[in-house]
Amino acid sequence: MLPENSYARKNIGYLIAMRDNADVIIETDDDTFPGPAFWHDRSRSVLAQVIERADWVNVYRCFTHHHIWPRGFAVEKLHGCRD
């Protein structure tokens, strides 16, 4: 009954998983097919960098050396953000 391309469909899945006491809820978009690693076991902890400044931070720099930035990132802050 829910329309395709609607986030409501995903929300119903979350509610069913919570109702059934799922240990883990894993999601993907409905227009992408998960690769083999998607089905691997996951950990509830993640290693992350600590950012101690209260300024703009281009988090993409934590994952790649390519010069990219998130949508909506303040363009005037691109060269002053943390390396």
CB 65 within 8 A of CB 43: no
The pLDDT assigned to 10 comes to 85
The pLDDT assigned to 83 comes to 47
DSSP 8-class letter at 18: H
Q: Which two tokens stand for residue 79?
A: 């060269």
pTM beyond 0.95, yes or no: no
Angle at 22 between CA 21 and CA 24, to 5 degrees: 145
Mean pLDDT by groups of 10 residues along the chain of 83 residues: 83 93 83 83 80 77 82 76 50
Task: For residue 1, give the amino acid letter.
Answer: M
